[in-house]
Structure 1
Amino acid sequence: MSDAAPASSTQTAGPSMEFHPRPQPGEATPWAFPAPERGELPNGLTLLRCHRPGQQVVAVEINLVAPLDAEPQGLDGVSTIMARALSEGTDKHTAEEFTAELERCGATLDAHADHPGVRVSLEVPASRLPKALGLLADALRAPAFPDGEVERLVRNRLDEIPHELANPARRAAMALSKELFPAESRMSRPRQGTEETVERIDAAAVRAFYEAHVRPATATAVVVGDFTDVDLDKALADTLGAWTGSSAEPRPVPPITADDAGRVVIVDRPGAVQTQLLIGRIGGDRHDRVWPAQVLGTYCLGGTLTSRLDRVLREEKGYTYGVRSFGQVLRSAPDGTGAAMLAISGSVDTASTGPALADLWTVLRTLAAEGLTDAERDVAVQNLVGVAPLKYETAAAVAGTLADQVEQYLPDDFQARLYERLAETGTVEATAAVVSAFPADRLVTVLVGDAAEILEPVKALGIGQVTVVQG
């Protein structure tokens, strides 16, 4: 008798050859930029709230109408020192205690000053929002501005200035502002002040600037996050609602004037192995009807690695790791007027400075003569509009954009409508807007590099009178 078992009892089943239908994509979930609920607290503080289920880290943005042009003459930088000093102690806590209380909440608090005003930003877990709002309210309501802390902040700022001057990109930005705007304009001078002006700032100057410009009646609070387990009304009433201050008439906003006659400024850095490029002019802000088309055209020109500037200067010629074009709003006014910086930036090795500029101008002139292609336009729309849901995944991103809209006197639905308008903008419109934004004969060019090496090649390009200044 054989010991072997029947074959049928030892074989295992082979892989199934049954095919299942390919999964089909579901219907795309419609997305639109979140719409805030607008209101006002009894103390006059404007409030925008936006409930975002699942966003357990709440973001708060406070807009204070304390613009740089309101700084007293000779005290450029006082708004920056004031912004930094808001978290350096209150009537309830010393600077160290205030920091420790923030840490116990798991919160971060930041503040900075810019041309439109001072922005204070808070992020905190939703479960600890009431406590963190109380600390934020104390910083706004009764900052201590201790003499010693202000002196320390001034010293820190003075230590930063040499590093900024040594940074080619920062130095180029300073030189471009000085060149574009008249000397009497605050926009012509460094946003955070110079060594000369910062040295004059003391606690008395900071207190005076605070008392003149910081009050709830002219401020706006933006709160974004998941409020499911938070009594937000009570939290706001008990904290920011307890902030008091006088009313104030709206400040007149000075007009923005600029000279964008084509010219070149070389900031001399002897021995520099690279040249920092910053090419710019002033254009309309987001109130301008051509803004969506300008955003689209500027993206096609230099908004990504596949843009025209990168294709020529980086991929074909190897002059640079990247060149970007962009539009950055400087300041807006209640009447819908304002200005944005329209610029192209990047860096190239010193020997390639002349050839790179020549090719850059060729790109601009070719764009004006031939226009964008439909393919370029389509890719730009896909990238700008399609990435929006990812861009605004966090509460902080939504809050920051809503605060920007407030700061720029835009309607609450501006960002949502912008994406609609981008999708509707055609190739011809985008071409006209970007050609108008970057006319080859009306651009101010700043080059931070070795003047001995780049002066003659740049002069030979004929893109404007060339001036050399010390770096």
Structure 2
Amino acid sequence: MTDATATMTFHPRPEPGPAKPWDFPAPERSTLPNGVTVLRCHRPGQQVVAVEVLLDSPLSAEPEGLDGVATIMARAFSEGTDRHTAEGFAAELERCGATMDAHADHPGVRVSLEVPASRLESGLALLADALRSPAFPDDEVERLVANRLDEIPHELANPGRRAAIALYAELFPADQRISRPRQGTSETVARIDAAAVRAFYQAQVRPAGTTLVVVGDLSGIDLDRALRDTVGAWSGEPAKPEPAPTIIADDQARVLIVDRPGSVQTQLLIGRIGTDRHDRAWPAQVLGTYCLGGTLTSRLDRVLREEKGYTYGVRAFGQVLRSTSEGVGASVLAITGSVATEVTGPALADTWRVLRTLAEEGLTDEEREAAVQYLVGVAPLKYETAASVASTLADQVEQFLPDDFQSQVYLRLTEVGTVEATTAVVRAFPPERLVAVLVGDAAKITESVEKLGIGPVRVIS
């Protein structure tokens, strides 16, 4: 030992201090004269402002036989306006350092803009042009349709995506839009042209019923004037609201095998219909689902990954569907992962065993505490960017939730007890009410799956 080492002083490791109070940012609400609802949220230091636009254009409003027209419309918003060609619009976005994206989902169409705070008004002007007077040029729509048709085979070749398509088709009646792919099929997308896109826009997109969320550092910005001169100048008669259809689902236990001959893995997607965020038990369900399959230390991972080595990971989650203004909605609750073909049967058997053991023995206090510490503790990091806050506020509007919903969820998570979390997750994933979709080699996995007795087995190509 050297003299220098001998004289070193070792101090005790610092202990973590008390957690600082944190609440999800609260927005300020207002309404523009043209009927656009505005939620603004000042976030000091966030020099990139995030804007989310919610258009009341649900997929259920798509004309029969034109599934995917909402997606093509959303993508075409940035392909030119009455003032700019597609190239000119892209150049103007680049000039003000902005990015714009859009997508269609069951509740409606979302348009997202991120722009430096110093160029916010310029970004809002471009956004307003896209909403107010999109050109939907024939050649650009044709290109977008061709791109979408090229994407579909790749999606069907992806086992995870193929499983999701099959599960939704299995859970929901064929005449419900929610049972079919959100972005359409090859048959429906091929029918879409610029005239169909323009007709859908004219029928569905109006300022009244639209919500605009603005989050970022708004210091020194006259946001009222900027909105009045841009999005506020958008005019149009209110459209007739599209009523949200009642969600009907069949989650009688059964197994659907999507045959992929030669596959060395089986993609698992096990799901059912469940409650959504309007249910008071939602926080307990979130907590229990995290304990079941939200992390590498969850129940499912401990058995299927650590003990048995069947998989690299299994996850459990809840996917919220469309809600109504009366607070009626649903979610798809699911377990997903992939396993080697030869252990498909054993992996399913162990999954059902985990679920039955959970119902019999319940969660432990240690599991509950670890889940709370993570879910609540990660929130300040999860919502560190303006875009993450804006997206969550937009989600709450889409689902007809109060503006303080997210804060209340985190408060409830700290209050949920172990028994309550157990009850919620057991109710969410009852083994006798699960539809299992398996994408794999049917010749090699069907027999072992049938022997499990978890439900009738059907094979499709």
Compared with structure 1, are the counterparts of its residues 328 and 24 closer, same or farther at alpha carbon in structure 2 (3 Å cutoff)? closer
Aligned twin of 1:329: 320
The aligned amino acid for 2:87 is E
Q: Is the CA contact (8 Å cut-off) linking 2:99 and 2:114 kept in structure 1?
A: yes
Aligned twin of 1:4: none
Query: RMSD between aligned alpha carbons?
Result: 1.7
Compute the displacement of 1:15 (Å). 10
Distance 2:40 2:262 in 1: 53
Compute the displacement of 1:30 (Å). 1.5
Other structure's SS at 1:120 match: strand
Aligned twin of 1:142: 133
Determine whether 1:272 maps to 2:263.
Answer: yes
Distance 1:415 1:182 in 2: 32
Distance 2:175 2:162 in 1: 20
Determine whether 1:29 maps to 2:20.
Answer: yes
Compared with structure 1, are the counterparts of its residues 431 and 24 closer, same or farther at alpha carbon in structure 2 (3 Å cutoff)? closer
Q: Is the CA contact (8 Å cut-off) linking 2:58 and 2:242 kept in structure 1?
A: no
Distance 1:235 1:30 in 2: 33
The aligned amino acid for 1:119 is R
Q: Is the CA contact (8 Å cut-off) linking 2:244 and 2:322 kept in structure 1?
A: no
Compute the displacement of 1:25 (Å). 6.1
CA deviation profile, 1:303-344 (whole Å, cap 9, x unmatched): 000000000000000000000000010111100000101000
Aligned twin of 1:441: 432
Distance 2:333 2:17 in 1: 41
The aligned amino acid for 1:405 is Q
TM-score (norm 2): 0.97
Compared with structure 1, are the counterparts of its residues 338 and 17 closer, same or farther at alpha carbon in structure 2 (3 Å cutoff)? closer
Determine whether 1:210 maps to 2:201.
Answer: yes
Determine whether 1:176 maps to 2:164.
Answer: no
Aligned twin of 2:397: 406
CA deviation profile, 1:214-246 (whole Å, cap 9, x unmatched): 111010000000011322111111111111111
Aligned twin of 1:50: 41
Distance 2:291 2:17 in 1: 31
Q: Is the CA contact (8 Å cut-off) linking 2:247 and 2:329 kept in structure 1?
A: yes
Compute the displacement of 1:251 (Å). 2.2
Give 1:396's match in structure 2, choosing from 387, 398, 401: 387
CA deviation profile, 1:344-392 (whole Å, cap 9, x unmatched): 0000000010000000000000001111001000000011001000000
Other structure's SS at 1:127 match: helix
Aligned twin of 1:6: none
Other structure's SS at 1:176 match: helix
Compared with structure 1, are the counterparts of its residues 409 and 150 closer, same or farther at alpha carbon in structure 2 (3 Å cutoff)? same
Compute the displacement of 1:253 (Å). 1.3
Other structure's SS at 1:218 match: coil
The aligned amino acid for 1:438 is F
Distance 2:103 2:29 in 1: 24
Distance 1:353 1:20 in 2: 53
Compared with structure 1, are the counterparts of its residues 309 and 23 closer, same or farther at alpha carbon in structure 2 (3 Å cutoff)? closer
Distance 2:299 2:12 in 1: 43
Distance 2:153 2:32 in 1: 44
Give 2:190's match in structure 1, choosing from 180, 191, 199: 199
Aligned twin of 1:452: 443
Q: Is the CA contact (8 Å cut-off) linking 1:71 and 1:78 kept in structure 2?
A: yes
Structure 1 gaps of 5+ residues are: 1-12
The aligned amino acid for 2:388 is A
Determine whether 1:78 maps to 2:69.
Answer: yes
Other structure's SS at 1:353 match: helix
Distance 2:336 2:439 in 1: 12
Compute the displacement of 1:430 (Å). 0.5
Distance 1:28 1:272 in 2: 49
Matches within 5 A, 1:315-326: 315-326=306-317
Compute the displacement of 1:82 (Å). 0.3
Distance 1:236 1:375 in 2: 50
Other structure's SS at 1:216 match: coil
Aligned twin of 1:416: 407
Give 1:252's match in structure 2, choosing from 243, 246, 264: 243
Compute the displacement of 1:252 (Å). 1.6
Distance 1:265 1:24 in 2: 52
Q: Is the CA contact (8 Å cut-off) linking 1:281 and 1:444 kept in structure 2?
A: yes
Q: Is the CA contact (8 Å cut-off) linking 1:127 and 1:229 kept in structure 2?
A: no
Distance 2:258 2:398 in 1: 33
The aligned amino acid for 2:153 is P
Aligned twin of 1:425: 416
Aligned twin of 1:69: 60
Distance 1:352 1:16 in 2: 59
Compared with structure 1, are the counterparts of its residues 315 and 93 closer, same or farther at alpha carbon in structure 2 (3 Å cutoff)? same
TM-score (norm 1): 0.95
Q: How many residues align?
A: 459
Q: Is the CA contact (8 Å cut-off) linking 2:205 and 2:239 kept in structure 1?
A: no
Determine whether 1:60 maps to 2:51.
Answer: yes
% of aligned pairs identical?
77
Other structure's SS at 2:127 match: helix
Other structure's SS at 1:191 match: coil
Compared with structure 1, are the counterparts of its residues 100 and 364 closer, same or farther at alpha carbon in structure 2 (3 Å cutoff)? same
Determine whether 1:239 maps to 2:230.
Answer: yes
Distance 1:322 1:15 in 2: 48
Moved more, 14-23 or 398-407: 14-23
Distance 1:272 1:61 in 2: 41
CA deviation profile, 1:41-73 (whole Å, cap 9, x unmatched): 111000000000000010000000100000000
Aligned twin of 2:273: 282
Give 2:341's match in structure 1, choosing from 350, 360, 373: 350
Compared with structure 1, are the counterparts of its residues 19 and 285 closer, same or farther at alpha carbon in structure 2 (3 Å cutoff)? closer
Aligned twin of 1:161: 152
Distance 1:432 1:273 in 2: 37
Determine whether 1:377 maps to 2:368.
Answer: yes
Distance 2:416 2:5 in 1: 57
Q: Is the CA contact (8 Å cut-off) linking 2:167 and 2:269 kept in structure 1?
A: yes
Compared with structure 1, are the counterparts of its residues 25 and 77 closer, same or farther at alpha carbon in structure 2 (3 Å cutoff)? closer
Distance 1:233 1:29 in 2: 33
CA deviation profile, 1:417-461 (whole Å, cap 9, x unmatched): 000001100010100110010000110000000000000000000
